[in-house]
Chain A
Amino acid sequence: SQQGEEDPQALSIQEGENATMNCSYKTSINNLQWYRQNSGRGLVHLILIRSNEREKHSGRLRVTLDTSKKSSSLLITASRAADTASYFCATDRMDSSYKLIFGSGTRLLVRP
């Protein structure tokens, strides 16, 4: 069964607005990672948050993790057209930490 599930599946916003994507998972994890994928390209690592962390920032990105609710959110502030991409969360289970389990992603469209 899927470990990470992103919500919403698709999101369309105007340039300059904030974009929030959510991820839920089922089992205990070591870390949760967010990746971006442009169409036809590989995955770009955005941020890793450990299970004992609650919030992490990187530039215009803010990631939160709530292990009690088994959920995470990715916030992109002041979005740009170049942020248009699919965003995936990936978790690793404590019993197989080497195996990342991806959700099906949120497809973000930022309209200029």
Chain B
Amino acid sequence: NAGVMQNPRHLVRRRGQEARLRCSPMKGHSHVYWYRQLPEEGLKFMVYLQKENIIDESGMPKERFSAEFPKEGPSILRIQQVVRGDSAAYFCASSTGQGARGNTIYFGEGSWLTVV
């Protein structure tokens, strides 16, 4: 049973470009979460999605960031017009039910974005 799959693992973008990060949840999981980790810090919640629905995006910056989880295919975190401050590790996680109410949340290996 494959875990949470994220790609790319490492991404380098120039300032002003777009970054697109993909996440395939674990098999059978319909709840997806995105977190961001700055160097030497813990993870910060960004957004919670179920299929075709954004449930909570309170941790997402208001501009340039968007997320989707379509009926078919992976969840996508999109960052437009990247700036140096967007450099971070972006982690996707998934769970069967609405985590963490007794549901273990499993994390992917992360996508490391570097903006040059």
Whether both chains belong to one complex is answered with yes
Residues of A within 8 A of B (CB): 4, 30-31, 33, 35, 40-45, 48, 50, 88, 90, 92, 96-105
Residues of B within 8 A of A (CB): 4, 31, 33, 35, 40-45, 48, 55-56, 59, 91, 93, 98-102, 104-110, 112
CB-defined contacts of B112 to chain A, threshold 8 Å: 40
Most buried by B among A41, A50, A102: A102
CB-defined contacts of A104 to chain B, threshold 8 Å: 40-42
Give the CA-CA distance A107 to B59 in the complex, in Å: 25
Give the CA-CA distance A103 to B41 in the complex, in Å: 8
CB-defined contacts of B100 to chain A, threshold 8 Å: 30-31, 33, 48, 90, 92, 97-98, 100
A30 near B102: Cβ-Cβ < 8 Å: yes
Contact of A98 among B44, B48, B108, B110 (CB under 8 A): B48
CB-defined contacts of A41 to chain B, threshold 8 Å: 109-110
CB-defined contacts of B33 to chain A, threshold 8 Å: 98, 100
A99 near B110: Cβ-Cβ < 8 Å: no
